[in-house]
């Protein structure tokens, strides 16, 4: 029995080393806001602390605010640690997303929809390709995002786009160009984040309005991590494609453990999925047919 146990231990270690047991994105390196980002509007509604390592975005009945990356990127790993607006946040939206500049733009969205006190936040994700969106998915989070900072990140390569919450994959958008579905691959994208009022739709379809007596609403940020292929807006490819860590084989698909985590999110926390919305579209979108575990 001892020999069998030793053999099983060796096999398990080999699996771990080979990556079969997991291929999570590399741990983000926290950097100050000013290294990768600049404010874009309402500069006086951004508050800096800890030498620029922490910032706060403020929303009042005059304006919200936002910021964007200095560079544009083709593929990479992008992460932000955010603590959402606490208390009564109905009508507010905290957004973190990538977007290209053209009219037929590509976009990868995290949008956090506020709610009345005691009600859970809703996380909405969306993917635009060639100017086409309407790919919303909505989930409840398994924690209170107003109590502490949590990591929200995107892994984007030529094979897939993966949305992560604290290293848990909550959504995957595969490259399905062979099915006629466009995939972001040749339009560099900037990163953006903003805090703004959207009480015409954000909370219960616009039924819950922003209570301005609770203003200013504050979202807190740190960990402004970017690890991507920086490119000019005219670039049509990444010069280092195939050579960066996110291009390697272990990042071209989820591993078994990540698939289990994704199914857990799908089963326990999903409240809307465009793939299953037969009212919006009588036909199942092509990308939803390929691997139903992902959608």
Q: Taking residues 182-202, what's their average pLDDT?
A: 96
Cβ-contact 228, 191 below 8 angstroms: no
Could you tell me the residue ranges of all domains in the chain?
A: 25-290
Residues 120 and 145: their CA atoms lie apart, in Å, by 9
DSSP secondary structure letters along 4-31: HHHHHHHHHHHHHHHTTT--PPPPPPP-
Q: For residue 241, what pLDDT is reported?
A: 79
User: Is 60 exceeded by the pLDDT of residue 176?
Assistant: yes
Q: Of 27-41, 193-207, 260-274, which gets the smallest average pLDDT?
A: 27-41
Query: Which helix (H) or strand (E) is 33 found in, with range?
Result: helix 33-36
Give the angle 18-23-24 at the CA atoms, nearest 5°. Answer: 150
Residue 277 pLDDT more than 50?
Answer: yes
DSSP class of residue 251 equals G
The residue to which tokens 């946040």 are assigned: 89
pLDDT at 11 over 70: no
Contact 233, 104 (CB under 8 A): no
What local confidence, expressed as pLDDT, does residue 292 receive?
63
Domain at 25-290: CATH architecture = Sandwich (2.60)
Query: Is the pLDDT confidence value at 18 over 90?
Result: no
The secondary structure of residue 266, as a DSSP letter, is H
pLDDT digits (tens, 9 = 90+) for 22-60: 466 777 777 899 999 999 999 999 999 999 999 999 999
Distance of alpha carbon 203 from alpha carbon 135, whole angstroms: 19
Residues with catalytic annotation?
A: 107, 111
More confident residue, 15 or 34: 34
Look at residue 19 in the predicted model and tell me its pLDDT: 40
Share of the chain above pLDDT 70, in %: 90
The angle at the Cα of 161, spanning 160 to 164, to the nearest 5 degrees, equals 130
- Average pLDDT, stretch 74-87? 96
Q: What is the pLDDT of residue 20?
A: 42
The CA angle 119-125-126, to the nearest 5 degrees, is: 145
């Amino acid at each position: 029995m001892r020999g069998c146990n030793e053999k099983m231990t060796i096999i398990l270690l080999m699996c771990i080393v080979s990556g079969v047991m997991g291929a999570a994105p590399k741990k983000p390196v926290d950097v100050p806001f000013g290294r990768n980002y600049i404010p874009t509007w309402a500069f006086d509604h951004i508050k800096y602390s800890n030498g620029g390592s922490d910032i706060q975005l403020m929303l009042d009945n005059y304006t919200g605010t936002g910021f964007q990356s200095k560079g544009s990127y083709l593929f990479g790993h992008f992460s932000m640690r955010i603590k959402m607006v606490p208390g009564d946040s109905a009508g507010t939206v905290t957004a973190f997303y990538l977007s290209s500049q053209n009219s037929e733009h590509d976009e990868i969205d995290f949008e956090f929809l506020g709610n009345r006190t005691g009600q859970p936040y809703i996380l909405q994700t969306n993917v635009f390709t060639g100017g086409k969106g309407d790919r919303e998915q909505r989930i409840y989070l398994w924690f209170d995002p107003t109590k502490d900072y949590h990591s929200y990140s995107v892994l984007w390569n030529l094979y897939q786009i993966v949305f992560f919450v604290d290293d848990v994959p909550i959504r995957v958008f595969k490259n399905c160009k062979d099915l006629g579905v466009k995939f972001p691959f040749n339009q560099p994208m900037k990163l953006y984040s903003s805090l703004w009022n959207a009480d015409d739709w954000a909370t219960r379809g616009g039924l819950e309005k922003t209570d301005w007596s609770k203003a200013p609403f504050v979202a807190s940020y740190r960990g402004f991590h970017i690890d991507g292929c920086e490119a000019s807006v005219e670039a049509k490819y990444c010069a280092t494609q195939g050579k960066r860590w996110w291009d390697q084989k272990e990042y071209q698909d989820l591993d078994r453990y990540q698939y289990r985590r994704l199914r857990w999110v799908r089963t326990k926390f999903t409240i809307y999925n465009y793939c299953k919305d037969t009212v919006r579209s009588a036909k199942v979108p092509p990308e939803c047919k390929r691997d139903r575990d992902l959608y």
